């Protein structure tokens, strides 16, 4: 039963759908999807085209907007918008340490999670589209991993897409995870160097925190074990428009003087545990490297293996000399399953996914080369999360795709840029720019 309600300027309706877990077995097990329909209050009775928004991740639920911020307000000027919680996220049959044991042991859990990649998400969208639009194609807006899903959509079911709009999410069509991370670590280092150039005082602050973590066993209030590697992973913040500033403010209040000497402050620990915990998005950790699996090669903890090729990220070596501590970025490592209480019960499941050798292709280069769907993509110059060279190679492989390469925004430009990013993409797709 659908339930409608209002926020300022918006009418929202909760929608729920039942889809197969495995679309190759339509009569088998099912899962539930949740989506929030949104329409401008003054257009609620109008027959409008649909825009499907695919959130970044993997493992990220759709935005819970209040009012009409950023791109959302621009979209509501001419569309009904469907904000989909992709399978396993938000209110869509969640997959986490509490629910996955219902599947059985680690092997059964890993088999279940193998159905949570872009191809399955596209099949979900196609299964619900007739029930939402009456069968009409919709405009798809994909942010980050949502962009990866949009490229899969153009590969698997382009007939369902009226217009494809991608922000910070053009994937390599054929790169293995190792290729992705070999391109990523130098990019991450550039972001860290730029941060220290902006905030030179943070060089010593970061070294001091790292030294404390190398010589003390720190457990955060939620049970997260804060190691130096975990601290370094806060560099993921540097991929956002305000991330460098937020990291600076986090570091400046790290220590407080106590009767037992200087300790990491409660305020610092509280912020850090919120930033590092995967309790609200465990799928991000569980299937992150699987989104790059497209053949018989296992991902095999790619980010961890490739990191060894970049010794400048070794905290102990940096502290033994005068080098600044390098933060890391969007990478998933096996030690996270030891540190994070939300991931600890899923360690064996994650190991099985990392060893899996039956991944199937997510993209169809031949179909993309013959693409007829109007498409446009924002490519953020030196995006920390998605390699620009990989993105532009893919852009050239999709017939008719128009790109907007910009250094005005970071990876979260569709959020921080207000209506401008969506405006630009629509203009490009419509040949108005």
| Catalytic site includes residue 358 | yes
Structure tokens at 297: 């090669």
If we measure between CA atoms, which residue out of 265, 246, 248, 243 comes closest to residue 204? 248
If we measure between CA atoms, which residue out of 377, 388, 374 comes closest to residue 430? 374
DSSP conformational letter for 160: G
CB within 8 Å of 143: residues ≥ 6 apart:
53, 54, 55, 56, 167, 168, 169, 414
Structure tokens at 417: 């840029």
| Catalytic site includes residue 411 | yes
| Catalytic site includes residue 4 | no
CA distance 230 to 232: 5
**Contact of 167 with 421, CB cutoff 8 Å:** yes
If we measure between CA atoms, which residue out of 418, 433, 363 comes closest to residue 75? 418
Instruction: Considering the candidates 45, 47, 217, 358, report the single residue annotated as catalytic.
Output: 358
CA distance 316 to 11: 54
Instruction: Considering the candidates 92, 144, 172, 244, report the single residue annotated as catalytic.
Output: 144
Burial 77-97 (b: 16+ CB within 10 A, else e): eebbbbbbbbbbbbebbbbbb
CA distance 281 to 267: 23
Give the angle subtended at the CA of 313 by the CAs of 308 and 319, to the nearest 5°: 125
DSSP conformational letter for 344: G
What amino acid positions are annotated as catalytic residues? Answer: 144, 358, 411
């Amino acid at each position: 039963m659908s339930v409608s309600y209002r926020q300022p300027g918006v009418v929202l309706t909760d929608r729920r759908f039942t889809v197969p877990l495995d679309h190759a077995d339509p009569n088998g097990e099912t899962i539930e999807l949740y989506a929030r329909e949104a329409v401008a209050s003054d257009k609620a009775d109008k027959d409008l085209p649909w825009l499907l928004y695919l959130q970044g991740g993997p493992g990220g639920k759709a935005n819970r907007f209040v009012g009409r911020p950023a791109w959302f307000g621009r979209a509501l000027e001419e569309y009904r918008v469907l904000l989909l919680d992709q399978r396993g996220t938000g209110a869509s049959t969640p997959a986490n340490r509490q629910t996955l044991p219902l599947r059985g042991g680690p092997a059964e859990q890993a088999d279940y999670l193998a159905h949570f990649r872009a191809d399955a998400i596209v099949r979900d969208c196609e299964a619900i589209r007739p029930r939402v639009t009456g069968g009409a194609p919709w405009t798809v807006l994909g942010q980050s991993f949502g962009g990866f899903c949009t490229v899969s959509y153009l590969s698997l079911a382009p007939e369902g897409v009226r217009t494809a709009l991608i922000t910070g999410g053009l994937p390599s069509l054929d790169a293995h995870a190792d290729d992705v991370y070999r391109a990523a670590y130098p990019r991450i280092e550039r972001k860290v160097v730029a941060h220290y150039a902006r905030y030179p005082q943070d060089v010593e602050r970061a070294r001091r925190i790292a030294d404390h973590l190398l010589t003390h066993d720190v457990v955060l209030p939620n049970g997260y074990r804060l190691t130096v590697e975990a601290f370094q992973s806060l560099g993921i913040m540097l991929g956002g428009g305000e991330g460098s500033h937020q990291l600076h403010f986090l570091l400046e209040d790290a220590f407080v003087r106590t009767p037992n000497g200087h300790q990491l402050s409660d305020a610092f620990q509280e912020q850090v545990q919120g930033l590092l915990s995967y309790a609200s998005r465990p799928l991000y950790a569980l299937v992150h490297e699987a989104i790059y699996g497209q053949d018989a090669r296992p991902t095999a903890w790619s980010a961890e293996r490739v990191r060894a090729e970049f010794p400048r990220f070794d905290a102990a070596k940096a502290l033994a000399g005068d080098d600044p501590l390098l933060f890391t970025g969007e990478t998933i490592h096996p030690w996270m399953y030891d540190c994070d209480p939300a991931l600890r019960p899923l360690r064996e499941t994650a190991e099985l996914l990392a060893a899996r050798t039956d991944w199937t292709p997510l993209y169809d280069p031949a179909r993309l080369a013959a693409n007829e769907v109007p498409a446009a993509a924002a490519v953020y110059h030196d995006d920390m999360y998605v390699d620009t060279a990989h993105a532009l190679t893919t852009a050239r492989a999709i017939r008719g795709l128009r790109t907007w390469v910009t250094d005005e925004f970071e990876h979260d430009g569709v959020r921080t840029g207000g209506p401008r990013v969506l405006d630009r993409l629509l203009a490009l797709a419509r040949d108005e720019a």
